[in-house]
Structure 1
């Protein structure tokens, strides 16, 4: 994995890019990481040029093992101070950088771990021991195997060690771990959607009690408060100090508040908003009350006085609009305008008593002239007639439209729908002549819509 162990207790060396002074010697102790996030410190006796992530062969009791460099330099000194490890001669040394053959032997040994763990579980069941075997780790030289288990009570596994040694022909070491360490070695995803804290960065496990959940107003539901290990979640302690500081100014209400209306019972408390919700026995509604008001009511009740109302009514004051609101505008108002689509209103056409639209006097007064489409319907000379779709309304006479407001003189002066040869008709045809498209016949033959004699 390029992250250096699949995000298991990774450390970022923020001093790696900084050049050390010439007279300053680099710290000779290196932090080495093994399987399951286990780390230990080793001394670089041979002054090897190591880089984070290099595989090295280290000295272990009765053999050697292969690990990976996780940290070096001055940060290792800080880690030793944090874990209270003394810089003494007891720290073992690094032999060399691992070769390809060493890594091949390590992978071959690691392939035996899963089969060994399943076989060891069957042996534990045969011995009827109340313990849970979670992991097995072989040494790189295959001289020793470490069995990690968890148990609630003390277990006598002396007979078990003899059977495991006879079965696998190796030295056996039994190491008991807690349920939190077991969950960290196995890994997983928490209810928050992230990797488990014990598998990524948390090493110091502190005791977690249900009082931490009470201070944070959490429901005491074991299924929600417990993690993968079956114990209370470690994250309950992360924000406990912040809640404790916020609860200092909030009064502890152990009795109902006495008001003229009745007894107000505390239902819940919003710690960071500093609101306390109260309800009455004959009312299903809850009423928010500020902490300062609750303190006033408690003082009045201590003096034997019952206030009239739980929350005093305050007149609404006009809110002063700030300059930023005037410049930026009200976003809620824009949301309201675009949330509902506008409906277009259809305009009703004016109609007369019979349901028909009355014709204007200007339309009746104007003579009917031949439109350019009618002129163009004629065939071009020399090309023959063109087939056109028949117009069924061509010979249909238009119905006269009644107009009560029109005078008799206007009716007498109105031309017929087909047009006439009066002086007014000739003038209107002359006006519309410039709208007609130009037409030039190709030959001098007769037009099909007129006889040759004309």
Structure 2
């Protein structure tokens, strides 16, 4: 079976392609690939070991060949002309007084299609705009509305961490993110600190949310009154997942810490917010059998039951 590769195009757009013609390829090669109508050009990102990553994307097209020196020169010229095309598109949009922001213009390598990416708060009727642009550029025009996160991906940039935006490097599909991810990690809910260049919550808030949640489930919830095995008591302020300890404040304002297995709550050994104890067992109250309403026998003993269904 032909090898499968991930190819990146302008604006961090990525697609899968088969090396159907068994070319000798290496990562970062510039390659010419099959497009919907014609040919396009992109950079070889990596070889895909399993086709399960494809999902419902459909059967990939083929890599036609490695780009030649002439192809590289043609690409540089195309990128220069795209900037001019974008300026003309913006002027035409202003002529029609359409409430849309032109983000980027991407031309297919063979010139058979021009894709215009834009953002808008509402639905835009651009039928007349498409007709004029098609007549002006003499090619097939496709307008594609994108969100602010896709806009940041296409334009590129660096995050507050100093690295390239995750959406420009490895993220292919955006997952939902909420402020609960920030709360779970005890991060300040300051929009300037937890928002990316797109103005939305940072994608990286999801990366360690699972580890934080797993660790915190071993402890009573913040605000719980606890007592340690050493006899110290106080209220849990927060959980330090790196040291796997609860930070506790006593009635005099002094702080101390304790691991999960060293905590006692008024109801018994440390319970988590899900009702499990620190050692993973279920709350004893949930294990109690329901009392029977059957009358006792002549010796005062309750009747014995044979099956689980009879006890319930």
Note the 1:174-189 alignment, pairs <5 A. Answer: 174-189=143-158
Query: Contact conserved, 1:251 with 1:295, CA < 8 A, in 2?
Result: no
Shift of 1:121: 2.1
Shift of 1:177: 2.6
Residue 138 (structure 1) aligns with: 107
Residue 286 (structure 2) aligns with: none
Query: Contact conserved, 1:109 with 1:142, CA < 8 A, in 2?
Result: no
Residue 217 (structure 2) aligns with: 248
Of the three residues 42, 47, 60, the one matched with 2:17 is 42
TM-score by length of 1: 0.50
Alpha-carbon RMSD across the aligned residues, in angstroms, is 3.2
1:277 aligns with 2:245: no
Query: Take 1:83 and 1:175, find their aligned partners in 2: how far apart are those partners?
Result: 22
When residues 266 and 132 of structure 1 are mapped into structure 2, their CA distance, relative to the original with a 3 A threshold, is farther
Of the three residues 14, 25, 33, the one matched with 1:58 is 33
SS in 1 for 2:90: helix
Query: Contact conserved, 2:249 with 2:256, CA < 8 A, in 1?
Result: yes
1:196 aligns with 2:165: yes
Query: Take 2:148 and 2:193, find their aligned partners in 1: how far apart are those partners?
Result: 18
When residues 267 and 223 of structure 1 are mapped into structure 2, their CA distance, relative to the original with a 3 A threshold, is farther
Residue 71 (structure 2) aligns with: 102
1:288 aligns with 2:256: yes
Of the three residues 227, 234, 238, the one matched with 2:207 is 238
Residue 323 (structure 1) aligns with: none
Q: Which has the higher contact order (CA 8 A, sep 6+)?
A: 2
1:377-432 superposed Cα distances (whole Å, 9 cap, x missing partner):
xxxxxxxxxxxxxxxxxxxxxxxxxxxxxxxxxxxxxxxxxxxxxxxxxxxxxxxx
Shift of 1:146: 0.8
Shift of 1:38: 2.3
When residues 65 and 218 of structure 1 are mapped into structure 2, their CA distance, relative to the original with a 3 A threshold, is closer
Query: Contact conserved, 1:30 with 1:41, CA < 8 A, in 2?
Result: yes
When residues 228 and 279 of structure 1 are mapped into structure 2, their CA distance, relative to the original with a 3 A threshold, is farther
Shift of 1:298: 6.1
Query: Contact conserved, 1:64 with 1:141, CA < 8 A, in 2?
Result: yes
Matched pairs, number: 261
Query: Contact conserved, 1:213 with 1:220, CA < 8 A, in 2?
Result: yes
- Report which of the two structures shows the higher radius of gyration computed on alpha carbons: 1
When residues 159 and 267 of structure 1 are mapped into structure 2, their CA distance, relative to the original with a 3 A threshold, is farther
SS in 2 for 1:105: helix
SS in 2 for 1:93: strand
Query: Take 2:223 and 2:17, find their aligned partners in 1: how far apart are those partners?
Result: 58
When residues 223 and 298 of structure 1 are mapped into structure 2, their CA distance, relative to the original with a 3 A threshold, is farther
Residue 308 (structure 2) aligns with: none
1:194-247 superposed Cα distances (whole Å, 9 cap, x missing partner):
221111222232111111111222221112111111111111111111111121
SS in 1 for 2:211: helix
Larger strand percent? 2
Shift of 1:297: 4.9
Shift of 1:42: 3.4
SS in 1 for 2:210: helix
When residues 265 and 210 of structure 1 are mapped into structure 2, their CA distance, relative to the original with a 3 A threshold, is farther
1:117-156 superposed Cα distances (whole Å, 9 cap, x missing partner):
1222233334333332221111122232111223343332
TM-score by length of 2: 0.70
Query: Take 1:121 and 1:87, find their aligned partners in 2: how far apart are those partners?
Result: 34
Query: Contact conserved, 2:194 with 2:201, CA < 8 A, in 1?
Result: yes
Unaligned runs of 5+ in 2: 227-232, 270-312
Residue 94 (structure 2) aligns with: 125
Higher mean Cα deviation, 267-276 or 192-201?
Answer: 267-276
Residue 133 (structure 2) aligns with: 164
Residue 84 (structure 1) aligns with: 55
When residues 200 and 182 of structure 1 are mapped into structure 2, their CA distance, relative to the original with a 3 A threshold, is same
When residues 233 and 278 of structure 1 are mapped into structure 2, their CA distance, relative to the original with a 3 A threshold, is same
